[in-house]
Amino acid sequence: MASSSKMASDPYNLNKDMVNTKSSKKSFHALRVIVLCFSMICSFYICSVCLQQTSQHFPHTVVVRSRISEIPTPPPISTETEVDIVHFPRPKNYSREECVSTEVRFFAILSMQRSGSGWFETLLNSHMNVSSNGEIFSQKERRSDVSSITATLNQVYNLDWFSSAAKNECTAAVGFKWMLNQGLLDHNKEIARYFIKRGVHVIFLFRRNLLRRHISILANSHDRNLKLLNGTHKSHVHSREEARILASYKPWIDPVSLIPELETTGRSAMKALKRFNHTNHITLFYEDVVKNTTKLQDVLEFLKVPVKKLKTRQVKIHIKELSKQVKNWEDVYSTLKGSKYETFLDSY
């Protein structure tokens, strides 16, 4: 009662207590807001530091999306997580100008000599947004060690590599071709890690008929020594007459070493497929691309560039049946007949 009487006698005491209570609540909420803001600022600072550290290794790289896909490739490849990484390179020696915001994807054609990679690359380079820069690792100093390889790759993928194929400013896909015997398998672990980290699209290109490849290698070696075309060696030609001259040579094939040679080639291809199986990749065979032009559309879709008709000026050199391309065909035929390579005798 005394309390009630006191409150009644001084009605402002209640209001004063209410005001004090409200003030304390406001102070508590203000403190929460301050703590929240401080947490957000700290989080933003930590994220910015992490991004800066990442950009020091791989500048101008953005992960835009990831999806699960199964790429049907022979031999069967297990389902892998495909992380689609796009880049916005800033070349050191020129400006990309209006194309500075054009996203760029990286690729590498992994192949073997005389497997159609030169022909395939000219097709890709006929696309206005694709730049494939040839066999950049044909020079040994560029593949002498992992550091040299990485420096070369960074130069290509930063659009600082100058070649006749370079589209420079408006390139949407940039890459090169890499032969298996050019240091690729020697440093496969480090290179695979680089490909995965930078989102390099790997295109395997092989020949099904290894006998035809073997004949092409022998004929190309012969022309390198004799230079049949007016004293000039040409691995690829642009006229029917040049192709006829080069195809006139019939190599002699050692029947004793033939099967071991084919086995070695097959093992190299399988080793490459295994070592780079975890990359984002597609596998092509030269014969399939020649017979089915939709395979080229698959490649453009794989690189995520606009699908266009591709063209090349190159002319195929060896178009005759195998029996007319080898000097000692009877020996070759009897060697492969009944072996696991028998199908090479009749197939394209």
The partner residues of 107 in beta bridges, in order of sequence, read 175, 201
CB 280 within 8 A of CB 201: yes
- Answer whether 216's CB lies under 8 Å from 293's CB: no
Give yes or no for residue 241 having a pLDDT over 70: yes
**138 Cβ contact partners less than 8 Å away, ≥ 6 residues apart:** 179, 182
Task: Report residue 99 as tokens.
Answer: 């194309």
Do 300 and 213 touch, CB atoms closer than 8 A? no
Give the distance, in angstroms, between the CA of residue 337 and the centroid of all CA atoms in the same chain. Answer: 38
Question: Could you report the per-residue pLDDT of 288-347, keeping only the tens digit for each?
Answer: 999 998 999 999 999 999 999 999 999 999 999 999 999 999 999 999 999 999 999 986
For residue 108, the cross-strand partners are 176, 202
Q: What angle do CA 256, 258, 261 make, to 5 degrees?
A: 125
Split at pLDDT 50, 70, 90, the class of 230 is very high
- pLDDT of 6 reads 41
The residue extents of the domains of the chain are 59-345
Confidence tier at 66 by pLDDT (50, 70, 90): very low
pLDDT of residue 214: 97
d(CA 111, CA 306): 24
Give the tokens for residue 245.
Answer: 């001259």
The token duo for 251 is: 């190599």
Q: Which fold has domain 59-345?
A: Rossmann fold (3.40.50)
Cβ pair 183, 143 in contact under 8 A: yes
**What value does the mean pLDDT take over residues 100-116?**
96
269: pLDDT strictly greater than 50:
yes
- pLDDT(1) > 50: no
When pLDDT is averaged across residues 39-47 and rounded to a whole number, the result is 63
Residue 72: other Cβ atoms inside 10 A = 8
Asked whether 81 and 149 are in contact (CB, 8 A), the reply is no
Q: What is the pLDDT of residue 4?
A: 42
Q: Can you give the pTM of this predicted structure?
A: 0.77
Q: Residue 76 has what DSSP assignment?
A: P
279 or 3, which is more confident? 279
User: Can you spell out the DSSP letters for 240-295?
Assistant: HHHHHHHHT------HHHHHHHHHHHHHHHHHHHHHTTTSEEEEEEHHHHHH-THH
What average pLDDT is seen over the chain?
A: 84
The 10s digit of each residue's pLDDT in 190-227 is: 999 999 999 999 999 999 999 999 999 999 999 999 99
Hey, what are 57's tokens? 């290794």
Q: What contacts 24+ positions apart, CB below 8 Å, involve 69-74?
A: 71/281, 71/282, 71/283, 73/204, 73/281, 73/282, 73/283, 74/283, 74/285
pLDDT band at 159 (very low <50, low <70, confident <90, very high): very high
> Do strands 61-69 and 80-87 pair parallel, antiparallel, or not at all (unpaired)?
antiparallel
Share of the chain above pLDDT 90, in %: 70
**In the block, residue with structure tokens 């996203």:** 103
For residue 169, the model assigns a pLDDT of 74
